[in-house]
Amino acid sequence: MRSSARVEARAAYGFVGPSVVLLGLFVFVPLAWALLISLQRTDGFGSGTFVGLDNYTRLLGDDRFWRSAGNTVLFTALVTPLSMLGGLGAALLLDSALPARPVFRSLLILPMAVSGVATALIGLLFFDENTGVLDSVLSSLHLPEASWQSGSVPAFASVVLVTLWWRVGFNMLIYLTALQGVDPLLHESAMLDGASWWQRLRHVTVPALRPATFFLLVVNVIFSFQVFDVVFVLTGGGPRDATSVLVTYAYDQGFAQRDQGYGAALGMVLLVVTLAFTGVQWRLGRGRDADQ
């Protein structure tokens, strides 16, 4: 037994080892390095000057940081539930006897195969204020055109809409997989008890999807906090910082202005917020699972 346990342990370490090494090399070492940089004033050339928590103190009085943080939270608050609801709706449709289901599934999953930059470029075709498809359609219908690039609210809406287009397919895929794992006998029992479609959805389907929902919630929030490429290409954070988010602001500080210490501090704040949210969700999720 002991010998077999040792073999098993060695095998386990053998399997886990490469991942741990890779994680350490490409995640934890850079993280520690970023933390170190965030405590310095540095343009990246030569050794920086240790300034303690100055970069973090500076954040408190930085209006652009608060604007970017607010935008990130708003973006997360909009995109997370909308993409999950959209994904759930699409999954329910595609799980039913809808004609041409494979075609619809492919159409929804297709954006997942496209990079964020390409997605944003496609978004530009729609939202360009001068030559975009949407304003042309609005104009042809004699409706007022929207200032997708020069108006704060429309610009923010364009970022949200493009992200939803990109992300709903992923949510749909996870929900669809989860739906296909729900025991059909539960639905049959509920139907025999006279439950309506809505009641079955609320009391059978949604609870059965809880693990998938928990996973998607955490992942969507992390993805939303990390949003960069769509904003960078579609709006550049403008107009007037209306779509600036924490990662675009960190990029701007760290690379465009070469204030790498401050940029790293922004990144660390983002990391802490993301970890804190994930931690809270994890605890709540575990609690719910325990209740069940």
Partner 1 sequence: MHLSRRRLLGTTSALAGAAALSSCGFTGSDDDSDGDGGTASGTLTFTTWGTESELAGFRSAIESFQKSSGATVKLNAVPYEQMFTNIDAQIQAGNPPDVFRVPYYTFGAYAGAGQLLDLSSHLESGFADRFTPQAWAAVQNSGSPFGVPHHTDTSVILYNQDLLSSAGIDAVPTTLDEAWTWQEFQQVAQQLRQALPDDTYPFAYNWQGNGVTRWLSWLFEADGRFLSDDLATAAIDSDAGRAAVEFTQGFFPAGLVPPNSSVKSTTYAADLWYGQTVAMTFGGAFLLPDTDATVDFEWGATFSPRDVRAGGDFGGNALVATKGADPELAAAFFAHVTDAEQMRDFCAGASLLPTRADLVEDGIDFDVRPDLSPVFVGQASTVQAQDSGQVASPSMSKIIAVLQDQLEAAFVGGQDVETTIAGLSDGIQQAVA
Q: Which of 59, 174, 204, 252 binds partner 1 (CB under 8 A)?
A: 252
Q: Considering only residues 220-239, where is the footprint of partner 1 by CB under 8 A?
A: 222, 225-229, 232-239
Of 86 and 123, nearer to partner 1 (C-beta) is 123
211 binds partner 1 (CB under 8 A): no
Among 249, 276, 271, which residue's Cα sits nearest to residue 262?
A: 249
Provide the token pair at 265: 């501090």
How far out from the chain centre does Cα 147 lie? 26
| Minimum distance of partner 1 from residue 156's CB (angstroms) | 14
Give the number of C-alpha atoms closer than 13 A to the C-alpha of residue 225, restricted to the C-beta side.
18
CA distances to 48, 49, 236 from 25, rounded to whole Å, are: 23, 25, 31
Residue 266: Cβ within 10 Å count: 27
203 binds partner 1 (CB under 8 A): no
Task: Give how many residues touch partner 1 by CB under 8 A.
Answer: 59
| Minimum distance of partner 1 from residue 191's CB (angstroms) | 45
Dihedral (CA of 132, 242, 244, 224) sign: negative
Distance CA 127, CA 123 (A): 6
Which one-letter DSSP state was computed for residue 40?
Answer: E
Of 123 and 209, nearer to partner 1 (C-beta) is 123
246 binds partner 1 (CB under 8 A): yes
263 binds partner 1 (CB under 8 A): yes
Of 174 and 247, nearer to partner 1 (C-beta) is 247
251 binds partner 1 (CB under 8 A): yes
Among 186, 191, 185, which residue's Cα sits nearest to residue 204?
A: 186
Q: Which residue has the tokens 């609320």?
A: 202
- Here's the x/- map for partner 1, 136-155, by CB under 8 A: it reads as -----------x-xx-----
68 binds partner 1 (CB under 8 A): no
Asked whether the bond before 239 is cis by omega within 30 degrees of 0, the reply is yes
174 binds partner 1 (CB under 8 A): no
Among 154, 111, 106, which residue's Cα sits nearest to residue 129?
A: 154
Radius of gyration of the chain (CA): 23
Q: Which of 17, 30, 70, 211 binds partner 1 (CB under 8 A)?
A: 30
Q: Considering only residues 102-131, where is the footprint of partner 1 by CB under 8 A?
A: 115-117, 121, 124, 128-131
List of residues contacting partner 1 (CB under 8 A): 26-27, 30-31, 33-35, 37, 43-46, 115-117, 121, 124, 128-131, 147, 149-150, 222, 225-229, 232-240, 246-247, 250-252, 254-260, 263-264, 266-268, 270-271, 274
